[in-house]
Amino acid sequence: MAATPESSLEDPLRSFVRRSVLELGSGTGAVGLMAATLGADVVVTDLEELQDLLKMNINMNKHLVTGSVQAKGGRNRRLSFSTRLYTDGRLHIL
């Protein structure tokens, strides 16, 4: 079966479905939000000063999200890789 332009575009997009994504230094969270709209379960992280911006952007775009997205981080918050942050305990994309 020959690949069509449609099938070659669909495969990369479907590769995010049910994947666990951790975005470090997310800034506005745009990359993580895009992954979440494609079906990934995403944790976006950044400094305390950017937490309000991240949460606002998540809230403004939640109607587009087909996976999940949450903001974590801050000065007094350490991300622990021994903690199960993800649905199946594995990190797929960093």
State CA 35 to chain mean position distance: 5
Classify domain 15-73 by CATH number: 3.40.50.150
Give 47-92 pLDDT, tens digit per residue.
989 999 999 999 999 999 999 999 988 665 565 555 555 445 566 6
Query: What does 19-72 look like in DSSP terms, one character per residue?
Result: -EEEESS-TT-HHHHHHHHTT-EEEEEE-GGGHHHHHHHHHHHGGG-SSEEEEE
Give 3-41 pLDDT, tens digit per residue.
455 554 556 667 888 889 999 999 999 999 999 999 999
Count of residues making up the chain: 94
Which residue matches tokens 């990934």? 40
The residue ranges of every structural domain in the chain are 15-73
Predicted pLDDT of residue 53: 94
Check pLDDT > 50 for residue 1.
Answer: no
